[in-house]
Amino acid sequence: MDCSKVGNLILQLRKEQGLTQRQLADALHLSDKTISKWERGLGCPDVTLLRGLSAVLQVDLEQLLSGTLQTNQTDGGNMKRIRFYVCPDCGNILTATGEAALSCCGRKLEALAVKPCDEPHTVKREQVEDEWYITFSHPMTKQHYISFFAVVACDRVIIQRLYPEQSGELRLPMIRDGSYLFCCNMHGIFRI
């Protein structure tokens, strides 16, 4: 950990938050001299203070320790580049249209790689008025199930969450040039 880089980042983030050294010190139950010492690179925060400092400055702990904020390249907001992340512990579904460092339940998440459908992961689509009626025979047990279906177009994403012991059918809107995906909780995400 480079104390000079960490100190510069603390200074930058403190000013972005509109805090004085005294206000930051009070939030952490420290003296303003300690904050001044950090910002001048003459020392680094104790490990016991990092979580609180991260929360007050609204910065990721990893970024704080590295002393730099890494910003993503703007991608124009095209939803077709969306990446799906699913927490293996609680099942939360997170999305990002660009590079992202996401975590849930204390675990760093990796984007799911979209795969083509295989034999155990097939669905049937039938047009009913202006919707797709989708059926599947995938198990829907508490241990192994389809967790969601998604429709991805250039300007929107529609996610329909499924739950264990639910029937193997649903309806999704027909969207021109949309990609249709579904996620198995054990085997990842598939493109229809």
Least confident of 20-24, 98-102, 117-121, 131-135: 98-102
Where residue 159 falls among pLDDT bands split at 50, 70, 90?
A: very high
Least confident of 15-29, 45-59, 67-81: 67-81
- In angstroms, the Cα distances linking 180 to 114, 152, 191 are 11, 6, 6
Burial of 127 (0-12, 13-18, 19+ CB in 10 A): exposed
Query: Given a cut of 60, is residue 76 above it in pLDDT?
Result: no
Query: Given a cut of 80, is residue 72 above it in pLDDT?
Result: no
pLDDT of residue 112: 94
> In the structure encoding, which two tokens stand for residue 140, read together?
């829907």
For the entire predicted model, the pTM comes to 0.69
Task: Quote the mean pLDDT of the chain.
Answer: 89
